[in-house]
Copies of this chain bind each other. A is one copy, B any other.
Amino acid sequence: MKKLKRSARLVEMTQYLLFRPHTLIPLTTFAERYSSAKSSISEDLAIIKEVFEMEGLGDLQTLAGAAGGVKFIPRVPKAKSLGFIQDICRQLEQPERILPGGYMYMSDLLGRPMVLNEIGKMFATAFSGRDIDVVMTVETKGIPMAYAVATHLNLPVVIVRRDNRVTEGSAVSINYVSGSNKRIQTMSLSRRALKEESRVLIIDDFMRAGGTIHGMMDLLQEFRATVKGVGVFVESDEVEEHLVDEYVSLARLSGVDSKTRQVKVVPGNYFDEEEVGED
């Protein structure tokens, strides 16, 4: 690449870092890329770091030494996320979202890239220090969200199927009992989709009793994998007890009245003072 002025270099480095979260980039990469001295690159990075912090985009971590470099860690301040979630809660309280059985229509919200991106950043912030190998979800509605989280953590996504499709090769299946309606259901995961002993972050859009997530945990045992975290977009407190103890929720549904279609949605435990769901 031809030698760039500082102004052009800043634009170039900003985009380069933003598209490579959680990736260590040696300073020599930038120095060679722009035919610039490492000292100039360090000055550029200091400017970028300041703006990223000011904007609540995340941290630029600098690692010194021979194996050193710079790493962009997306991290959004909780105060900034809270305003966003409060707005989402108000939208979720719209009476026309209440479906038979106390379910809630939210595919419109979860179909918007901007919303998913914000949710992804929140979970990436919540789970950023946990040494995770892979993000896992079960089809269907949690998939875009899991992908958004994985993008900000720079991790692959693994999708658990509700049946065993031919296009996935040999698979491990388990039966599980859905917590709320006590029905026996099946889920399966392709053998080759997940390495043994992986460290897994489970993401799902909705949790009532937690039967589905509990099922994913059982399935993970078959792969000798470790659950490093559970993140749900909306939890319902319409149950006496959750089958899952530790989880991070972004919103909490309570008092669904299917008749009057009234519902209350408040920010989830991610915003609690006591940091519920944190290891």
A-side interface residues toward B, CB under 8 Å? 4, 6-8, 10-12, 14-15, 18-19, 47-48, 50-52, 55, 57, 99-101, 103-105, 107-108, 111-114, 116-117, 139-141, 143-144, 147-148, 150-151, 154-159, 161, 165-169, 190, 192-193, 206
Instruction: Quote the shortest CB–CB distance from A19 to chain B (angstroms).
Output: 7
The answer for the CA separation of A114 and B156 in the assembled complex, in Å, is: 9
The answer for the CA separation of A141 and B193 in the assembled complex, in Å, is: 13
The answer for the CA separation of A7 and B7 in the assembled complex, in Å, is: 6
B141 and A140 form a contact (CB under 8 A) = no
At the interface, is chain A mostly helix, strand, loop or mixed? helix
Q: List 11 A-B contacts (CB under 8 A).
A: A4-B51, A7-B7, A11-B14, A15-B55, A15-B57, A107-B158, A107-B159, A113-B157, A141-B159, A143-B143, A143-B144
B108 and A156 form a contact (CB under 8 A) = yes
A55: B residues at CB distance < 8 A: 12, 15
Q: For A57, A155, A156, A158, which residue has the most chain B Cβ atoms within 10 angstroms?
A: A156
A105 and B192 form a contact (CB under 8 A) = yes
The answer for the CA separation of A221 and B139 in the assembled complex, in Å, is: 26
A14: B residues at CB distance < 8 A: 10-11, 14-15
Q: A14-B14, A190-B107 are in contact. Are A147 and B47 (CB under 8 A)?
A: no
Copies in the complex: 2
B100 and A166 form a contact (CB under 8 A) = yes
B6 and A7 form a contact (CB under 8 A) = yes
A157: B residues at CB distance < 8 A: 111-113, 144
A99 and B151 form a contact (CB under 8 A) = no
Instruction: Quote the shortest CB–CB distance from A74 to chain B (angstroms).
Output: 11
B11 and A47 form a contact (CB under 8 A) = yes
Which among B7, B116, B139, B167 is the interface contact of A47 at CB below 8 angstroms?
B7
B144 and A144 form a contact (CB under 8 A) = yes
A101: B residues at CB distance < 8 A: 166
Instruction: Quote the shortest CB–CB distance from A236 to chain B (angstroms).
Output: 12
A165: B residues at CB distance < 8 A: 140
Question: Given known contacts A111-B193, A113-B154, what 10 new A-B pairs fall within 8 Å (CB)?
Answer: A8-B51, A11-B48, A11-B51, A11-B52, A12-B55, A14-B15, A103-B167, A104-B167, A108-B156, A111-B157
Q: For A11, A19, A48, A190, which residue has the most chain B Cβ atoms within 10 angstroms?
A: A11
The answer for the CA separation of A158 and B112 in the assembled complex, in Å, is: 9
A206: B residues at CB distance < 8 A: 167
* Identity of the chain B residue whose Cβ is nearest the Cβ of A113 in the assembled complex: B151
A100: B residues at CB distance < 8 A: 166
A105: B residues at CB distance < 8 A: 167-169, 190, 192
Instruction: Quote the shortest CB–CB distance from A11 to chain B (angstroms).
Output: 4
